Amino acid sequence: MKNIVAAAGLLAAAGIGETVYFYNRTMKRGKAKTERTMKMAGTDWEKYFPLMEERKGYVMAQPHRDVYTTSFDGLKLHATYFPAAGTSDIRKAVICFHGYTGEGLSNHIAIADYFLKHGYAMLLPDARAHGESEGEYIGFGCLDRQDALGWIKWLIQECGKDVEIMLHGTSMGGATVLMASGLDLPDNVRGIVADCGFTSPKEVFTHVLNHMYHLPAFPAIQGADLMNRRFAGYGMDECNAKYEVEKAKVPILFIHGSADTFVPCSMCHEIYRHCSSPKRKLIVEGAAHAESYYKDMKAYEQALDEFAEDIFQTAGNEYRM
């Protein structure tokens, strides 16, 4: 009996240790590393660096400035704002939300070239606990969707009440905009583009532990959920994109790479099935995580063109999708 009790104690201690280790390196600022995220995602970014550098020159030459807002829970949040190029009459704007361990400006250099040349004003926020935004605990879309609502209101105040807004998000940013779809969004928000967004932190972490590390999700996920409720103020399955899109009212364009092993393409299909609003879907064959824009830029930009034509030209009317 003593041996059984001792063994049980060792297992419990190991479980607690695993939970704390997983939580600290995943959920806390400074512990979640970009290099580790890139390695897990499995995308070969080096081959796209020349394109990024080329586009960086044009993008950074455009007028832009740092802007700030305060989150619902008192954090100072940072973004980079680009007015619409060559005009003071801002009719359409896009807010781009980056992925886990990323930053607003650096992660959107390539696609910023597209948006700026198509006449958008553009806002690139740093998510809480990322970049120049405050915060110790990462929001994984669950908290970031409320921050997104704050940035939408900031953009309307900046650009005027008639501005029409597209939300665009990649990975954690994709989950953010999908989770935001279930909120009471201002009428200015005309459409949402979600690139490789996940359902919930719990489900994507379970996938990573099971399929990439070949580890059981228990007790790390359950323990991390308890810790996160205590320290960050939200549960890891408290907000799930597949249920939020059931309440969506604005059109959504879903984009995902067929070869994504970090956030499996099956999540895209699942969320798409649950979506109640007008919807489109683009699956880019052979694209790894967050690679779709680079893998097939022509198809991606065509999908954006067609989506924008529908959501902006039908303002105040029924959507054509």
pLDDT tens for each residue of 150-195: 999 999 999 999 999 999 999 999 999 999 999 999 999 999 999 9
Look-up of token digits 């954690």: 172
Q: The pTM is what? A: 0.90
Q: What per-residue confidence (pLDDT) applies to 17? A: 65
* Burial of 162 (C-beta count, 10 Å sphere; 0-12/13-18/19+): exposed
Under the banding of pLDDT at 50, 70 and 90, the label for residue 24 is confident
pLDDT exceeds cutoff 90 at 210:
no
Under the banding of pLDDT at 50, 70 and 90, the label for residue 9 is very low
What are the residues whose beta carbons fall under 8 Å from the beta carbon of 147, sequence distance 6 or more?
71, 72, 77, 125, 127, 128, 139
pLDDT tens for each residue of 45-54: 899 999 999 9
Q: What per-residue confidence (pLDDT) applies to 196? A: 98
Instruction: Give the separation between CA 154 and CA 236, rounded to whole angstroms.
Output: 28
In the DSSP assignment, the letter for residue 209 is I
Top pLDDT among 206 and 39 is at 206
pLDDT tens for each residue of 224-235: 899 999 999 999
Quick one: CA dihedral 155, 161, 166, 167, positive or negative?
positive
pLDDT tens for each residue of 301-314: 999 999 999 999 65
Question: Which of 311, 145, 103 is CA-nearest to residue 244?
Answer: 145
Q: What per-residue confidence (pLDDT) applies to 14? A: 37
Q: What per-residue confidence (pLDDT) applies to 147? A: 98
β-bridge pairing 65-70 and 189-195: unpaired
- Which residues face 92 on adjacent strands? 164
Q: What per-residue confidence (pLDDT) applies to 11? A: 31
Question: Which of 50, 94, 35, 40 is CA-nearest to residue 294?
Answer: 50
pLDDT exceeds cutoff 80 at 85:
no
pLDDT tens for each residue of 242-252: 999 999 999 99
Instruction: Give the separation between CA 312 and CA 95, rounded to whole angstroms.
Output: 15
Q: What per-residue confidence (pLDDT) applies to 176? A: 98
Instruction: Give the separation between CA 217 and CA 237, rounded to whole angstroms.
Output: 14
Neighbours of 16 (CB within 10 A): 12
Instruction: Give the separation between CA 95 and CA 268, rounded to whole angstroms.
Output: 21
Look-up of token digits 């970009």: 34
Q: What per-residue confidence (pLDDT) applies to 28? A: 86
Question: Residue 245 carries which side chain, given as an amino acid letter?
Answer: V
pLDDT tens for each residue of 86-140: 655 568 999 999 999 999 999 999 999 999 999 999 999 999 999 999 999 999 9
Question: Which of 220, 193, 190 is CA-nearest to residue 26?
Answer: 220
Under the banding of pLDDT at 50, 70 and 90, the label for residue 7 is very low
Under the banding of pLDDT at 50, 70 and 90, the label for residue 12 is very low
Q: What per-residue confidence (pLDDT) applies to 209? A: 83
pLDDT exceeds cutoff 90 at 198:
yes
Percent share of the chain, pLDDT over 90: 73
